[in-house]
């Protein structure tokens, strides 16, 4: 039997007992299985007849449970009490849903807020009226049997909750059948068209170094990969840093004359991108934002409905908005609201659809044609095993999301990825891609190897695109394919040339377009020197290939596999018993995690300090008597080695204390060491230390050092900087990620610890000025 989550006894027991205690004449269940138990659905029952029989009328809690039980099994639904108790219960939940009319579902929303209202209002009333009398099973058959044109005529009437419920009824094969017949290409391109598979080059750098970023672009183009967007995840979200990266990306596109063919984007908060554009007009192109499914979930990203509508109204040029989402993000941030991950994800697509419509309106208002370049990347697998653990679940998630995105009319791409603490390895990802690709998503991520050098997770490599093109016959956007032929990495017939897989050749073409008149030998020598420097900073670059053009060069492949093995070791590492004693005055506290396995599989267990340790914190608070305004907290996180490796922690602590003192802050002399600590454990510590202080308007800070996602070989840690007022600390649960800033990628081989200390205090001075 699979492992149940720690929340099972609390949440599943309630749902099972609710059903077991009804008056229906059914076989007695002395010990119903944990989960949503549905032993007896009649062939003619729909959801509401069943609720009438079981509860004597509509019951919102059981209604949400029945909808959740129709989902394919995932740990994320189980954690919030919505997974079916067994396969019979799942089949019965699907039967009830298939028999239910669309109009009845729309009349009983699982949760209402401003985003839900916006999605409902955006539905085309004529198409929606046509559908309201259909049963969900009829809608499923329609999608499987009818043409793309017929389906698209009704799509404007499909709301997000209906689309989310619909995919629950489909097998993987049925999801592929629907996904492979509906296409929503980006205006003026082939991206998202049938038979095309694009790529977002993701040139991430552990230090935001412009050369790291440029060289990964050259690297992708050497394999004829990259046609959707050059999109970098920044380490720093400081305006000047984002501006530097934006201009580095823009320079590459501008130099090669393809600014009007492919955009660039730095995936900082959308407010930061707007500031960069205001400061340096024309430096940004496509604007990015992560989306949640509810107003409360979006607040975690410091995003409001009004803010996103206002940003959409500004997007009057060629390039509009780029979104990222992922199943499970809402629940892991504490915003499950009692309904399941699939419907949550579908609502994000509905929100994206509305924002795309607003971009179209903005273009019309500016005298342009309504041709919104708006697309969405489903980051499936990034959160970890608390959402789902296995490769089969990753495939299911991707197929569900492809169909939901396409039925919303969205150009949807995928980040088919896994964290290093999931049960999905490098070879499993190849298998996953082979299962998913027949559904023809619009694009995938693209990196030099499967291992992201900054985010430390597994995703799609450049040569995976080469393999997929060969196996499935998918094409690159026509304009970019012509560019690659002009670049000389493929010939007129689309075959690799002698320059295929050679980023130094792409660099040579870049320099020639810059007017560089040096000899080829001089430029190529410079290229090799720069590549060596990039690699020394921990960024892998691929060259050449193995036996096949889609095989990673064997030596590099061996290195990436070593890093995967090191990541597994790092995840299970624990702080040694001597760690605290080596820190003068250090105070040790523990979270609610029972052990390392509990911590990894059940993140909420590491988000709160356990009660005995809360008493320890209260004693520390009383001893401090309000005289300190900065507290250092150290957590093992997902990589204890990040804090114990030589040259990592010591230089940071020494420099940050000096910088804080020089800036006028009073730093508590005793660092707090947290065993099995997540980021939110730092917030809990801040509430205990600061929440009862009398000076309600003063700012008090937690600097939380935590070992982060392993896999890069750097054993890097991050510092989460949180500095609200005492009044805010006093309101339990108020302090969250939306008011926290972070300095990440800190290691002796990445962002130097001493420099990270300077960056930390620079940010703190803005949050809590002296």
The reply to whether the predicted model has a pTM over 0.85 is yes
When pLDDT is averaged across residues 733-746 and rounded to a whole number, the result is: 92
Reported as a pLDDT band with limits 50, 70 and 90, residue 10 is: very low
Burial class (CB in 10 A: 0-12, 13-18, 19+), 126: exposed
**Around Cβ 53, how many Cβ atoms within 10 Å?**
15
Burial class (CB in 10 A: 0-12, 13-18, 19+), 306: exposed
Distance CA(29)–CA(23), nearest Å, equals 12
Phi/psi at 113 (5° precision): -155, -170
When pLDDT is averaged across residues 477-503 and rounded to a whole number, the result is: 97
Four-residue CA torsion sign, 741, 747, 748, 751:
negative
When pLDDT is averaged across residues 608-613 and rounded to a whole number, the result is: 96
33 or 191, which is more confident? 191
**Model pLDDT, residue 635:** 97
Four-residue CA torsion sign, 238, 244, 248, 251:
positive
Q: Determine contact, residues 745/454, Cβ cutoff 8 Å.
A: yes
Reported as a pLDDT band with limits 50, 70 and 90, residue 9 is: very low
**Model pLDDT, residue 29:** 52
**Model pLDDT, residue 7:** 36
Which of 12-21, 287-296, 716-725 has the least mean pLDDT? 12-21
When pLDDT is averaged across residues 712-726 and rounded to a whole number, the result is: 93
- Would the pLDDT of 16 be above 50? no
Reported as a pLDDT band with limits 50, 70 and 90, residue 11 is: very low
- The candidate with the shortest Cα–Cα distance to 505, out of 483, 534, 528, is 528
- Would the pLDDT of 749 be above 90? no
**Model pLDDT, residue 32:** 81
pLDDT per position as a tens digit, 387-420: 999 999 999 999 999 999 999 999 999 999 998 8
pLDDT per position as a tens digit, 415-465: 999 988 888 999 999 999 999 999 999 999 999 999 999 888 999 999 999
- Would the pLDDT of 124 be above 50? yes
Quickly list DSSP for 625-680: TT--SEEEEEE-TT-THHHHSTTTHHHHHHHHHHHHHHTT--B-SS-EEEET--HH
pLDDT per position as a tens digit, 512-552: 999 999 999 999 999 999 999 999 988 999 999 999 999 99
355 or 30, which is more confident? 355
**Model pLDDT, residue 750:** 85
- Would the pLDDT of 602 be above 90? no
């Amino acid at each position: 039997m699979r492992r149940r989550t720690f929340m099972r006894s609390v949440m599943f027991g309630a749902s099972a007992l609710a059903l077991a205690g009804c008056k229906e004449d059914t076989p007695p269940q002395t010990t119903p299985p944990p989960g949503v138990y549905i032993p007896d659905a009649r062939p003619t029952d729909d959801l509401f007849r069943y609720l009438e029989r079981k509860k004597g009328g509509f019951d919102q809690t059981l209604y949400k449970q029945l909808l959740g039980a129709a989902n394919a099994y995932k740990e994320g639904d189980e954690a919030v009490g919505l997974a079916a108790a067994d396969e019979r219960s799942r089949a019965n939940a699907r039967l009830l849903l298939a028999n239910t009319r669309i109009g009845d579902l729309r009349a009983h929303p699982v949760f209402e807020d401003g985003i839900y209202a916006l999605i409902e209002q955006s539905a085309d009333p004529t198409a929606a009226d046509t559908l309201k009398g259909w049963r969900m099973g009829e809608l499923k058959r329609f999608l499987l049997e009818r043409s793309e044109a017929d389906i698209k005529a009704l799509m404007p009437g499909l709301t997000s909750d209906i689309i989310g419920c619909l995919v629950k009824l489909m097998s993987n094969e049925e999801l592929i059948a629907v996904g492979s017949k509906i296409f929503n290409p980006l205006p003026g391109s082939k991206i998202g068209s049938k038979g095309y598979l694009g790529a977002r080059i993701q040139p991430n750098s552990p230090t935001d170094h412009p050369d790291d970023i440029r060289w990964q672009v050259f690297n992708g183009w050497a394999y004829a990969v990259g046609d959707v967007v050059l999109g970098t995840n920044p380490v720093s979200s400081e305006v000047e840093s984002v501006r530097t990266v934006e201009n580095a990306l823009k320079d590459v596109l501008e130099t090669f004359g393809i600014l009007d063919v492919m955009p660039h984007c730095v995936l900082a908060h959308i407010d930061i991108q707007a500031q960069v554009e205001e400061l340096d007009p024309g430096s940004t192109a496509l604007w990015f934002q992560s989306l949640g499914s509810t107003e409360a979930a979006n607040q975690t990203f410091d995003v409001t409905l009004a803010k996103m509508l206002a940003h959409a109204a500004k997007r009057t040029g060629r390039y509009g908005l780029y979104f990222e989402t992922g199943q499970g993000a809402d629940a892991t941030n504490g915003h499950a609201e009692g309904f399941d991950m699939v419907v949550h994800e579908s609502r994000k697509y509905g929100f994206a659809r509305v924002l795309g419509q607003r971009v179209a309106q903005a273009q019309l208002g500016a005298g342009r044609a309504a041709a919104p370049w708006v697309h969405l990347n489903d980051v499936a697998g990034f959160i970890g095993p608390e959402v789902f653990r296995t490769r089969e679940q990753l495939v299911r998630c991707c197929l569900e999301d492809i169909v939901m995105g396409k039925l919303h009319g969205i150009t949807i791409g995928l980040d088919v990825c896994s964290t290093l603490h999931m049960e999905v390895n490098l070879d499993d990802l190849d298998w996953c891609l082979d299962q998913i690709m027949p559904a023809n998503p619009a694009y995938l991520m693209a990196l030099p190897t499967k291992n992201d050098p900054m985010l430390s997770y597994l995703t799609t490599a450049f040569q995976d695109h080469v393999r997929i093109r060969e196996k499935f016959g998918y094409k690159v956007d026509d304009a970019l394919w012509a560019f690659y032929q002009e670049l000389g990495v493929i010939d007129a017939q689309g075959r690799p040339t002698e320059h295929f897989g050679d980023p130094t050749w792409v660099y040579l073409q870049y320099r020639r377009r810059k007017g560089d008149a040096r000899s080829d030998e001089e430029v190529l020598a410079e290229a090799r020197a720069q590549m060596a420097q990039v690699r020394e900073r921990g960024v892998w670059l691929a060259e050449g290939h193995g036996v096949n053009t889609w095989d990673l060069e064997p030596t590099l492949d061996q290195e990436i596999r070593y890093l995967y093995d090191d990541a597994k070791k790092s995840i299970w590492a624990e702080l040694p018993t001597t760690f605290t004693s080596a820190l003068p005055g250090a105070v040790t506290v523990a979270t609610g995690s029972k052990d390392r396995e509990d911590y990894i599989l059940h993140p909420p267990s590491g988000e709160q300090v356990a009660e005995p340790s809360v008493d320890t914190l209260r004693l520390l608070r009383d001893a401090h008597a309000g005289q300190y305004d900065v507290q250092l907290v150290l957590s093992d996180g997902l990589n204890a080695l990040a804090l114990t490796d030589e040259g990592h922690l010591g230089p940071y602590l020494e420099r940050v204390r000096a910088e804080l003192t020089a800036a006028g802050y009073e730093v508590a002399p005793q660092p707090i060491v947290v065993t099995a600590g997540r980021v939110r454990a730092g917030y809990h510590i801040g509430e205990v230390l600061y929440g009862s202080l009398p000076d309600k308007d003063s700012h008090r800070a937690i600097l939380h050092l935590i070992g982060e996602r392993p896999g890069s070989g750097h054993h890097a840690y991050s510092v989460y900087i949180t500095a609200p007022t005492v009044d805010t600390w006093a309101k339990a649960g108020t302090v969250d990620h939306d008011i926290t800033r972070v300095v990440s990628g800190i290691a002796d081989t990445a962002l130097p610890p001493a420099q990270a200390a300077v960056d930390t205090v620079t940010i703190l001075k803005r949050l809590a000025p002296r």
